[in-house]
Amino acid sequence: MATVHYLNWDTGPGRDADTESEESEFFQEAHFLMDEDIDPVPRSLYRRVAEVPDTNIESIWTAFQGGVPSDCSDETVQEVKRVFEKINERSMSVGDVIEINDEKYIAVSIGFEEITWKHEE
């Protein structure tokens, strides 16, 4: 089972990646993240978008880019359709997180890096 979390840079009235906010700042920084720069990532900057049965990170990424990987389950394909069509979400982007078996991976410019959440009080 995998959970997909989207960085909130695109939520709120008139907001996009260029709007100044903690989320959009992190979105811009995520394009240049390296191992030592990543941990911990503030959990409060994210929203849970979907839960899918597949655990292949590349297949999940491809599915949330609008593709249909040959190794994705029908359940994952249907969940991705729901995300795009019913709740009108965007495709995955740099800075978004895929959580597989309690391990979290942030999408960076090329590939993924493992992270931990920073839980603010």
Q: What is the pLDDT of residues 82-106, one digit of tens each?
A: 888 877 888 898 889 999 999 999 9
pLDDT confidence band for 69 (50 / 70 / 90): confident
For the chain, what percent of residues have pLDDT higher than 90? Answer: 29
Q: Is the pLDDT of residue 51 over 80?
A: yes
DSSP code of residue 112: E
Beta strands 41-42 and 97-100 are: unpaired
Q: Is the pLDDT of residue 40 over 80?
A: yes
Q: How many CB atoms lie within 10 A of CB 38?
A: 16
Q: What mean pLDDT is reported for the chain?
A: 82
Q: Is the pLDDT of residue 110 over 80?
A: yes
The CA distance from 117 to 74, in Å, is 30
- pTM as predicted: 0.82
Pure H helices in 3-72: 22-30, 35-38, 57-63
DSSP code of residue 92: P
Q: Are 112 and 98 in contact (CB under 8 A)?
A: yes
3-state DSSP assignment of residue 61: helix
Q: Where are the domains of the chain?
A: 2-118
pLDDT confidence band for 66 (50 / 70 / 90): confident
User: Residue type at 82?
Assistant: R
Q: How many CB atoms lie within 10 A of CB 68?
A: 12
